[in-house]
Amino acid sequence: MAVLGFLGFVASYAMRVNLSFAIVAMVNTTSSQSLALNVCSSLLPNQTGLGDAGGPSQKLSEGEFNWSGEEQGLILGSFFYGYVVTQVPGGILASRIGGKWPFGIGMLITAIFSLVTPLAARTGKGALIFVRVIQGLGEGVTNPSMHALLAKWAPPLERSKLGAFVYAGTQIGTVLAMPLSGALISWNVAGGWPSVFYVFGLLGILWFVAWALFVHDSPQSHPSISPKELSYITHSLGNSKVSTNLL
């Protein structure tokens, strides 16, 4: 569970921030002042670096979309409009039915909408904002769902270590998304910037398949856990509850 939880957060945060990097190549910087260029230009050396004449490269200036800085800010921030909505409902749902499926379905939704992001962007700003809001709704349940899973799987003496390992995926996902997004765009894979959403979306779906097959809500529901490990986790958590009640 811990390894797939770690990889889930890697995929989650990669899909969360990929637009921040891809938008550098999406926006036509000759027709509007690019907010993304100022923030992320160093991440795409082959496209945002200076050409032989000292000016911006031709490839970057030919981005498809004429979005102003304000429009780019709205698009980039729309993810969090959905993200804040499902935090509390996600925690309530995970406490009632377990964290496996809220976490997994939330990630699957995010991955599917990552795949349709290029189509949405070419349809219009409103469609892209809608897609990003839905992605935020999907990812909003991930943290509370993982809390519910760790509460059932992590013995008290190992909870800090397991929690640190799982949530380290948030930083790793962000760090990995930076160079990988830049490389995909620079190498012009599948048309350049659309490949950023295709690759991360596909990885998210592959992760979901593994999550659905191998992760269970509790040690008691795991079909192949060893009796020794089950006894250790159960007794550790039981002793923790007894200690809490005595206090």
Residue 53: what pLDDT?
40
Long-range contacts from 209-217, C-beta under 8 angstroms, 24+ separation: 210/4, 211/4, 211/8, 211/100, 211/103, 211/104, 211/107, 212/104, 214/4, 215/1, 215/4, 215/5, 215/100, 215/104, 215/149, 216/1, 216/100, 217/97, 217/98, 217/99, 217/100, 217/149, 217/152
pLDDT in the model for residue 189: 79
Domain residues for the domain of 154 are 69-246
pLDDT given at position 50: 36
Tell me whether residue 208 is in a domain.
yes
Task: Report the CATH number at residue 113.
Answer: 1.20.1250.20
pLDDT band at 61 (very low <50, low <70, confident <90, very high): very low
What per-residue confidence (pLDDT) applies to 238?
78
Q: Is residue 50 part of a domain?
A: no
Question: Which sign does the torsion angle of CA 42, 47, 25, 32 carry?
Answer: positive
One-letter amino acid for residue 162 of the chain:
L
pLDDT given for residue 30 in this prediction: 64
> Across residues 54-69, what is the average pLDDT?
65
**Average pLDDT rounded to a whole number, residues 25-32:** 75
Q: Classify residue 113: in a domain, yes or no.
A: yes
- Domain membership of residue 112 (yes or no) is yes
User: Which pLDDT value is given to residue 239?
Assistant: 62
pLDDT for 246: 30
Contact 231, 45 (CB under 8 A): no
Which pLDDT value is given to residue 1? 87
pLDDT at 28: 82
> What residues pair up with 65 in beta bridges, in sequence order?
27
Percentage of the chain modeled with pLDDT above 70: 83
187 inside domain: yes
Rounded distance between C-alpha atoms, residue 166 and residue 143, angstroms: 11
Banded model confidence at residue 63, pLDDT cuts 50, 70, 90: confident
Give the model confidence (pLDDT) of 87-110 as tens digits.
Answer: 999 999 999 999 999 999 999 999
Stronger pLDDT, 46 or 78, i.e. the higher one: 78
- 38 within a domain of the structure (yes/no): no
Least confident of 35-39, 62-66, 88-92, 213-217: 35-39
Percent of the chain with pLDDT over 90: 71
Asked whether residue 61 is domain-assigned, the answer is no
pLDDT in tens, 155-170: 988 999 999 999 999 9
Q: Would you state the pLDDT for residue 190?
A: 79
* Number of domains making up the chain: 1
54 within some domain: no
* pLDDT at residue 31, as a whole number: 53
